[in-house]
Chain A
Amino acid sequence: AQSVSQHNHHVILSEAASLELGCNYSYGGTVNLFWYVQYPGQHLQLLLKYFSGDPLVKGIKGFEAEFIKSKFSFNLRKPSVQWSDTAEYFCAVADRYNTDKLIFGTGTRLQVFP
Chain B
Amino acid sequence: DAGITQSPRHKVTETGTPVTLRCHQTENHRYMYWYRQDPGHGLRLIHYSYGVKDTDKGEVSDGYSVSRSKTEDFLLTLESATSSQTSVYFCAISERKGGGTEAFFGQGTRLTVV
Please give me the residue from chain A that is nearest to B45 by CB atom: A101
Q: How many A-B contacts at CB < 8 Å in the complex?
A: 59
Would you list which residues of chain A between 44 and 93 have a CB under 8 Å from chain B? Answer: 44-46, 49, 51-52, 90
B interface bracket (residues with beta carbon within 8 Å of A): 20 to 34
Count of residues in A whose CB is under 8 Å from the partner chain = 24
A102 CB contact (under 8 Å) in B33, B40, B98, B106: B33
Provide the main secondary structure of the chain B interface. Answer: strand
B107 within 8 A of A: yes
The smallest C-beta distance from B10 to any residue of chain A, in angstroms, reads: 12
Given A100-B31, A100-B94, also A46-B42 (CB < 8 A): no
B42–A51 CB distance below 8 A = no
B99–A106 CB distance below 8 A = no
Please give me the residue from chain A that is nearest to B99 by CB atom: A51
A94 CA to B102 CA in the complex, in Å? 10
Q: Chain A residues with Cβ under 8 A from B35's Cβ?
A: 104
B48–A101 CB distance below 8 A = yes
B90 CB contact (under 8 Å) in A9, A43, A101, A105: A43
The smallest C-beta distance from A22 to any residue of chain B, in angstroms, reads: 14
